[in-house]
Structure 1
Amino acid sequence: MPILPNQNRRHFVTSLMGGSLAAMAAGGVSATEGRADSQTAQGVAPDDPVMHYWNRPLSELVDIGPYTAPAEEMERHRVYANLVLALLHGYFNGNKDGDTGDYPWRSSQRIAGSGTQSLYAGGRYLGHNICCVAVDGDGDIIDFDFNHNSIFNSSVEHAEARLIKRIFSLSDIHQDWDSAVGADDRWNLSSSAEKAPMKGQMDDDYGRSLSNVTIYTSLESCAQCSGIMTLANIKQVVFLQPDPSQYMIGKIMYRLSRPVGQEGGPGAPRPISATEVGIETTARLDHDYKTFQAAVGTGLGKTPFYKPPGSDNDPAQWSGGKSITGFLCSDLAFADFRSGREALDAMTLAHADFRPEGQQMLTNMEVLSQARHFLNYALTEGRRGTPHR
């Protein structure tokens, strides 16, 4: 099918798909039959996890059990989780629809004007208020990144996906963000034993180089980011807010990417809700999001998300979107992020001298000190995850 000069790519793809479906129908194959066989798991080995869960309830597939760890390790998790919240507070920008107009859910962020002639703090909106941090096996912070969908005009510039790609590039650099670390040092992404190829599974080093890395992310990961973390063999991912629109895809991938009954090892990272490590802000974020969803809108008794400049008396122009990214622009979310920053600033440790096995592992006190140091670096040099030292 030739592409005419005035045909854009989207039209071409759409017409091609339409032609393919028409061809299947002409051949006596329905579109549904052409897309998938919904009756049997053909070609799947009997001991494959897909076969195991094929006729079982979805609840069994997503039930990965509670996360358990010693109190000393839970304390380390809380440090990194509060760091993510502190980064979100420091880089907060709620100007999803521009920095002028009226955002009824953002009254504390207004810096001038009133009504739809208001001006809001934050400047240009680069992407959603979603952030993540990567930590290596010794407890050292590798780097951070943010969602940058808006600046790239793309729906796939997610924080976790961007960070994983950054880590792979950093793994070959012999100098990290902390200038106090010598030029010959690098992050402990994987021990030499872990980097050895696993017989029958992979024949490369990079496939295992991130196998002891933990990602701390502010929002439950989507299918794209879960897939990229799976390819990277990330150990685990701790998320600070559940995202119902992602259908627990991380848990599903965790179960289906390894033999039935196996925990850990190669496969999708284990999703861990921050509530399981003692972060109270997770429950508040979930509660506040539900409050936002119930009250936002343009109908009777609802509060709009945004009113464009000059639309004070024209409800037809108002936006009442209930998206989670809209909630992440609200005063509710901003206050929750601030609580995490305050918690990091005021945090005291019950297990300050705890050091996991291994001479290079940081103590909990060293972890907290580094997190505070990293926050200062990130807010002055990190440029919200855009290229930096």
Structure 2
Amino acid sequence: MGLQGHEALALLELEQLRGWARDLGFSQIGISGVDLAQAEPGLQAWLAAGFHGSMHYMAAHGMKRARPAELVPGTVSVITARMDYLPRTAPDGWQRIEFERLQRPLDAGVSLYARGRDYHKVLRARLQKLADRVAAAVGPFGHRVFTDSAPVLEVELATRSGLGWRGRHTLTLARDAGSTFFLGEIFIDLALPESEPAQAHCGACTACLDACPTGAIVAPYRLDARRCISYLTIEHDGPIPEEMRPLLGNRIYGCDDCQLACPWNKFAQRATLPDFDVRPHFEAPTLLALWGWGEAEFLSRTEGSPIRRIGFDRWQRNLAVALGNALRAGLEEGDARAVAAALQGRRESASELVRRHIDWALPPAAVTP
């Protein structure tokens, strides 16, 4: 334990903390308390509805997600941090450009956040460096850093600490940054003054609900993960339900549609770190080029990327669905033949999971036992 109460505050001012955070690539810092009791009924209702799908860890942690002091005993304050990820080279009109990509059946849709380095690695290391700076100023103190890596109500903490408000799509929105940013937290045993909470500015807008291709945003501020393309292509490890497959279009890793439609993202900030620069093979990826990767190439090209964690089987599963959707989109004859041949060429060596999706993707006459 280090200094407590007014002693710590005398040495650690919020503006000083923000300066250190900016030096580390963070765009915004806030301080939240740990009483999240008002969020518990909503969390309980979401779990009771089964909206977490097969993410059983969500239910296993119970209300600990809304009780920081239970997750990390001794926690009395939470430092929240925002880090922008929109690639530095993203052109003006990037939302329109991304929507246009989704209309080209043979292009591959990969979420913007996943085209560079794994954010877990980037944020965790820099949050720890920020904690080290605090310790150098006030002495050793109890803390743990998190970034989408533990049962933490990140959006609730971000809202309470002034980083933004919860949009109708359930993501955090900021007036000067839209929603293209990651969140991270440092749970600490120092009592720091809380920053002003953010006020909501969605008004009557429903653009995110209207844009969701699967109707996963079942009500404002309520997401059914079982229908969410990000869940289906990343978290879900079994067969993608057949009724959902046509709705995926050419999206093979995640989905940005609700963010592309959000008016606030015209204010999205470019990343300050090169970590989120787009890797060359994700600049203009096509389904056939990615389908051509073997497992060794997949592992090599996704090293240090968030994509690698889904593994080669899920990667091929997602691609098979997208290629099937391309065939159903009415491709030119040459393209259709190339897609069918590529799918058939992988069928014999594919895992059972992938083969089931290949068989769905191919026209019945093209499937050879």
TM-score (norm 1): 0.23
Question: In terms of Rg, which structure is larger?
Answer: 1
Which structure: greater helix fraction?
2
Normalising to structure 2: TM-score of the pair?
0.24
